[in-house]
Amino acid sequence: MSGMIIEGKTGRWEIVCGLEIHCQIISKSKMFSGASTHYGSDPNENVSFVDAGMPGMLPVLNEECVRQAVKTGLGLNAKINKYSEFARKNYFYADLPQGYQITQFKYPLVGEGKVKIELDDGSSKEIGIERIHIEQDAGKSIHDISPDKSFIDLNRAGVGLMEIVTKPDFRSPEEAGAFLRKLRSIVRYLGTCDGNMDEGSMRCDVNVSVRKVGEDGFRTRNEMKNVNSVKFVMQAIESEARRHVETYENGGTIEQETRQFDPNSCTTKVMRKKEFAHDYRYFPEPDLPPLVIDEAFIEQVRSEMVELPDVRQERFVRELGLTRYDASVLCENKETADWFEQAAQGHDAKKVANWMMGDFFALLNEKKLSLEESPISPANLGKLVDLIAEGVINGKTAKDVFALMAESGEAPDKIVEEKGLKQVTDTGAIEAIIDMVLTANPENVAAYKAGKTALMGWFVGQVMKESRGKANPGMVNKLLAQKLG
């Protein structure tokens, strides 16, 4: 059980939470105009007459946005609706020049789906998807350039969004965090959204209520808008749930509100009373026909899908013998999984995984490098693992070789050859070093023979040192035992 229980004065409470996630669709042009979606252009550089809400301009649906949303729906095991409709959601805001947002309301493009999440205790849980509808993004108001003026940048106005709505299935902050990470991983695998919460291309509204353990039905929820990191979502859920419990236990009631989470104080404060659907005067969008897609379109999209993280993880466990944990870490993002598969190709996959998750990730972290910037190629990491397996170098030397690879980007076999790092497995050579060490330390030899057998480790260390780390440790142990025995 991964649910979180809040112990109150009057009893035990459970958390009920559902998420609405806005994901910016990856597409070259906007949802209803030909303007570019490029991020980081000069303000108002990418604005067509449609995006600016000029009178008489008509929207034209970008097929690529539909394709991307369908792909996302398939990735979330959801039902794709062959018939959907656009609707107008009317509200006034300075960064919304049309005075309405084109969205979907009664008939969304994607219906119910489900996503599996894994939790820290090793259990897993299925989270229901309610729907995904597609809509246009608004522009941005900029208040921090001038003390007495606000500016509007419409570059974002009209960029395609997918709003992914979950069922109220989360029972703890941990479950919501696991879901967001899973969702981000899936959309990144699919290439339908870049999933960057800090840049606002994935934005999360968090709905929270509580109820007594065992109680049927749900109580009134509050919604926190645009929480912009996984950590903040988790904190917002917990702090809001505790506020509800406290309110109820003090005899108060919760009213449906839209609130804002403040990460500094870890509390929420009210923004406005919750607006209801009827406040928006939704009606079918008269400028666009219903969106009708056929089986062939859906199958075409399905055929373009890559292997998703869950399936890939299963395969790594089944075919490559990785532990479930290792497989889940390596599969979280596609680039890492691709890199690993390349490195493991033809080598001991488990050992490659160990090196990757240990020294290799530590190196990237320390040098603040991305995978593409890694000085060590996948093929060279695979080779290093082989050199150890074949007994050419021992584990300790391998660490040194790895450090040299990180510096020069050279292949491990070349480094071993050039620096003369090959493991010494020649019995005669090792025996010579052992004899030298024993002769130089008669007191310790005597002590060992008198019963202080713990000195064995010390002798091994001396011999390894004299061999500059290159002696085969197994042989050193065996030969020493014979000589001292």
Which residues contact ligand ADP (rule: CB under 6 A)? 16-20, 165-168, 207-209, 218, 221
Q: Which residue, 114 or 167, has its beta carbon nearer to ligand ADP?
A: 167
Provide φ and ψ at 90, rounded to 5°: -90, 125
CB of 211 to ligand ADP, least distance (A): 8
Nearer to ligand ADP, 275 or 299 (CB): 275
Q: In the complex with ligand ADP, which residue's Cβ is closer, 113 or 469?
A: 113
Specify the residue, 164 or 405, whose C-beta has the smaller distance to ligand ADP. 164
| CA torsion angle 392 397 399 405 (round to 10) | -70
Q: Where are the beta strands (DSSP E) in 167-201?
A: none
For residue 129, the minimal CB distance to ligand ADP (Å) is 10
Q: Residues 169, 7: contact at Cβ < 8 Å?
A: no
Tell me if 57 sits within 8 A of 101, measured CB to CB: no
Residue nearest to ligand ADP (CB): 18
Q: How far apart are CA 327 and CA 370, in angstroms?
A: 20
Please identify, using beta-carbon distances, which residue of 19 and 388 lies nearer to ligand ADP.
19
Nearer to ligand ADP, 275 or 418 (CB): 275
Place of tokens 């292997």: 307
Please identify, using beta-carbon distances, which residue of 167 and 396 lies nearer to ligand ADP.
Answer: 167
Interacting residues of 153 by C-beta distance below 8 A, sequence separation 6+: 43, 44, 95, 139, 140, 142
Q: Rounded to the nearest whole angstrom, what is the least distance from the CB of residue 216 to ligand ADP in the complex?
A: 12
Write down the least CB distance from residue 208 to ligand ADP, Å. 6
Q: Give the 3-state secondary structure of residue 270.
A: strand
Parallel, antiparallel or unpaired: strands 291-292 and 124-136: unpaired
Task: Using alpha carbons, select from 139, 132, 81 the residue that is nearest to residue 292.
Answer: 81
Q: Shortest gap between Cβ of 37 and ligand ADP (angstroms)?
A: 26
The residue behind tokens 């010494």 is 424
Task: Write down the least CB distance from residue 11 to ligand ADP, Å.
Answer: 18
- Minimum CB separation of residue 169 from ligand ADP in Å reads 7
User: What is the C-alpha end-to-end distance of the chain, expressed in Å?
Assistant: 56
Residue 160: strand, helix, or coil: strand
DSSP three-state, residue 476: helix
Cα angle for residues 55, 61, 66 (degrees, 5° grid): 150
Say which residues have a Cβ less than 8 Å from residue 480's Cβ, sequence separation at least 6. 434, 456, 459, 460, 463
CB 168, min distance to ligand ADP, A: 4
Residues 19, 166: contact at Cβ < 8 Å?
A: yes
**Distance (Å, whole) CA 5 – CA 115:** 23
Beta-carbon contacts of residue 297 (< 8 Å; ≥ 6 apart): 67, 70
Provide the minimum distance between the beta carbon of 367 and ligand ADP in the complex, in angstroms, as a whole number: 41
Instruction: Identify which of residues 20 and 314 has a Cβ nearer to ligand ADP in the complex.
Output: 20
Q: Which of 206, 320 has the CB closer to ligand ADP?
A: 206
| Shortest Å distance, C-beta 285 to ligand ADP | 18
